[in-house]
Structure 1
Amino acid sequence: MWRCASGLARNRWGIRRLSSVLRRHVVDEGDWSYSSEWWDPASEGHTCFSKLSSHGNGIVSVAAYPTSTPSVDQWLMTEKWLQHRYAAMYPELNQKDCQFKVLGYQWRVLKFNDDTRQSTVKVMAACRPSDPGSLILMQQSHCLAVPYVKSMVSVGLTALAASSFDLLNAVIGKKSMNILCIGHGGGTIPLFLASKIKGSNVHVVEIDPVVVEASVEAMGFPSFDQTQQFIWDETLKSRISIHVSDVYDYIKKDSNIYDIVFVDAYDGDDIFPCKLWDINGDFLPHLANRVHPVHGTVVVNLHSDSDVPTRGDGDDNSLFFQSLLPLGKYVRKVCSAYKGHFGEAFTVAVPWLCNITLVACKGKIFDRRDIVSGQLASKSNLVEALLNLKFSCLNYVKSGLMVVK
């Protein structure tokens, strides 16, 4: 979940379905310059999923919006990949039955109570012309549409790499990497990590089965049901496990030791549950016991306490506004709680949004901002190269960094 910084322009864009619009050349399909395509207050999009939750999230819905990328002339490459993948899965079929046609791409936005935006993903729809009922919906794992997600991934993995973890061998599959994602949403973070890190074992804990259902049915998250076709890379089956459970119950029974944990859990009232940060509660001690004692890293998505307008990196006032964000009482309490249980912590501000990324680490001494900044900067290029990121990792690492005292 995120909050848009106040004062940002949100003009309506008249974009035709599956059409292209003129804009500056952008390599990253999830660049914030595309946000107007799926975040237009004047448009509710097309609702493609809606169901009442019994776990406090109200109406869980998914809205679809047209996207301008990839352009039609890029679809042929994807169609060929799908054909080769399907032919490998079903060698007994003839070539005609293995052909695929891309129908188009859309943004899909997960909402609670038709108001609170929880996740945004890009999906591709395709089918086999020989079987019009063979529609598949594939979430584009490489596309991270919301800046706070890029911040969590960039800063979290950079901190992990700076804490002596061998990220290189995890990425190429020579070393295992245990990852815990608390909160599923549309499945953006777990799918991204599983697709980028061959040695990953991603465990996702989500309390609401309706959220998982929405991600699979309407947001293109892969179904691991054995009765369903699995057109993705087959190895993803072994890398992602979804646990529909209260995270407190799960963590008490869990025996895994995690290298990194991502916490992004907001309910239908847009509240980060107190039990996930209560310094005197039982959750944080249990979580601390499940994190690696030397390089264990925990990454938490937080709202700032006030809608201070953050701006892009090119604005001279950007760092000034970003430096104000972590100072509210709520954020301070959460940061203090995680620092108290994990030892060291720092925060960065998320560009364009009123969000904070909190990182708590074991085994590192983050007592000075310049030391932290230097350690992270030295590893950011490594993370960017290893994961083949289409955005600058360093820009998120250096955004209003502050050490939690």
Structure 2
Amino acid sequence: MMMIMNRSRLKLSSSKNLRRLYSSNPRRIEDEGDWFYSSEWWDAGDSDANIVFRSVSDKGNGVVSVVASHSSRPNESQWYKTENWLRQRYAELHPRDVHNRSFRILGYQWRTLRFNDDTRQSTAKVMAAYDESDPGSIFLWQQAHCLAVPYLKSMVSVGLTSLLCNCEMLTSVYGKTSMKVLCIGHGGGSLPLFLAYKLPGAIIDIVEIDPVVISASIQAMGFPHYSIMKNCGKRSRVKPTKPDLIDEVLWNGIHERLFLYESDAQHFITETSNIYDLVFVDAYDGDDVFPRKLWDPDSGFLKALRDRVHPQHGTVVVNLHSDDDILDESLLPMGKYVSRVCKAYKKVLLDDFGSVSGLAFTVHAPWVCNTSLVVSRGFTNSTRDTVVNALISKSLEVENTLNLPFSCLQHVKRGLIIVD
């Protein structure tokens, strides 16, 4: 959940902090998800925005809606490149098809998932297109390369960089080795989609308790339907037994590595036998509250997670509402609990896990009032200076190898604090 909310509830800290943020590292305008474009998805009274999905949740998220607004990039003059790619992609996957398939783009939109018409939970860029041979075949395609929310860039940066500090992760970039990733909390699905796109060796389990959120991501935000799993562990799309034509064109090589489960996080982590290299936790309800059972040190969830994280290098990244720079904590229901959450994760995942070495630290996400908590096993000699130096070095390696559109370094060094 991103923590800049409706203007009546929360503002951007202060003008002083805004000046500080603007003076940070130069932004990469070639990044389609750069904060420079946030006015397009923030719906500040934009008359062009419209609701494309709306349903009521019975899992504590209230009214779940998706709002669409115009995206200025890519420019229409560039659409032909993607149309050509889609045609070539289809020809490669279906060489015996005698029909010359052509695809036409209808446009690009920002689509924002909201709870109770107020809290902006996640944002994704979505392309709408159709097959010319079947004009009624309109389909949505979430842009996997684009992360629009600053805290997600922070989570990805610190997670991958910390993991690389303690193991050889980059072979997963080339698909030579596999990497097990768990995402708790789905939202629009941009985080697991980005990871699957950038890491061909990543096998990604996604756990989302709310079926309405899952429906919103599939129906209105262009997340691949083929990823949905049944309770029996099989794909929900049994007929046909394989992805349909459009799914193959859009997602071949990606959606096979995404496994989206409708489940309570504690139940899932207790039942699974998987050992995860990297875990992302981003699970807030309609009241902006991080469920207590996901951070209580005596909870079954944290104790089960402790045993499911790789003992030598396992890394857990948690999105938290920051209580720094906030004058009125009542605006952020979780703000006063941030330090307790950090200590709980460190205690259970590191201190209570035998003789495992490791480190817990936090960094601030730019532009928004979010903090990324990192608990990573394997760190030794964990003074702040040695940790910062290691993270800086490895962040450049991650950024260059994955060809990230944003600065990984900018996120890993931002206000780093070691958790005692």
Q: What residue number does 2:318 align with? A: 300
In the alignment, structure 1 segments of 5+ residues that lack a partner are: 10-23, 310-324
Q: 1:270 aligns with which of 288, 294, 305?
A: 288
Identify the range of structure 1 (147-156 vs 230-239) with the bigger mean alpha-carbon deviation: 230-239
Q: 2:30 aligns with which of 27, 38, 41?
A: 27
Q: 2:92 aligns with which of 74, 88, 100?
A: 88
Q: What residue number does 2:80 align with? A: 76
Q: 2:345 aligns with which of 326, 338, 345?
A: 338
For 1:105 and 1:381, how far apart are their aligned partners in 2? 31
Q: What residue number does 1:144 align with? A: 147
Shift of 1:364: 1.5
Q: Is the 8 A contact 1:87 1:95 kept in 2?
A: no
What is the count of residue pairs matched by the alignment? 373
2:311 aligned partner, one-letter code: P
Q: What residue number does 2:399 align with? A: 384
Shift of 1:386: 1.8
Alpha-carbon spacing, 1:235–1:25, altered in 2? closer, same or farther (3 Å): closer
For 1:72 and 1:328, how far apart are their aligned partners in 2? 42
Alpha-carbon spacing, 1:398–1:188, altered in 2? closer, same or farther (3 Å): same
Question: 1:235-254: CA deviations, max 9, x gaps?
Answer: 22321111110010111110
Q: What residue number does 2:222 align with? A: 220
Identify the range of structure 1 (233-242 vs 56-65) with the bigger mean alpha-carbon deviation: 233-242
Shift of 1:87: 2.4
Q: What residue number does 1:395 align with? A: 410
Q: What residue number does 1:47 align with? A: 51
For 1:166 and 1:3, how far apart are their aligned partners in 2? 33
Q: What residue number does 1:280 align with? A: 298
2:306 aligned partner, one-letter code: A
Shift of 1:3: 1.4
Residue 274 (structure 2) pairs with residue 256 (structure 1): yes
Shift of 1:308: 3.5
State the identity %: 55
1:302 aligned partner, one-letter code: L
In the alignment, structure 2 segments of 5+ residues that lack a partner are: 5-11, 17-26, 227-236, 351-358
Q: Is the 8 A contact 2:180 2:276 kept in 1?
A: yes
Shift of 1:130: 2.4
Q: What residue number does 1:115 align with? A: 118
Q: Secondary structure of 2:46's match?
A: coil
1:176 aligned partner, one-letter code: S
Q: Secondary structure of 1:232's match?
A: helix
For 2:204 and 2:165, how far apart are their aligned partners in 1? 21
Q: Is the 8 A contact 2:113 2:187 kept in 1?
A: yes
Question: 1:70-107: CA deviations, max 9, x gaps?
Answer: 011211110011111222333344454x1111111000
Residue 376 (structure 2) pairs with residue 361 (structure 1): yes
Q: What residue number does 1:168 align with? A: 170
1:116 aligned partner, one-letter code: T
Q: TM-score, normalised by structure 2?
A: 0.85
Q: What residue number does 2:353 align with? A: none
For 1:328 and 1:369, how far apart are their aligned partners in 2? 24
Shift of 1:255: 0.1
Measured on the aligned residues, the alpha-carbon RMSD in Å equals: 2.0
Q: Secondary structure of 1:365's match?
A: coil
Q: Is the 8 A contact 2:172 2:201 kept in 1?
A: yes
Q: 1:289 aligns with which of 293, 307, 310?
A: 307
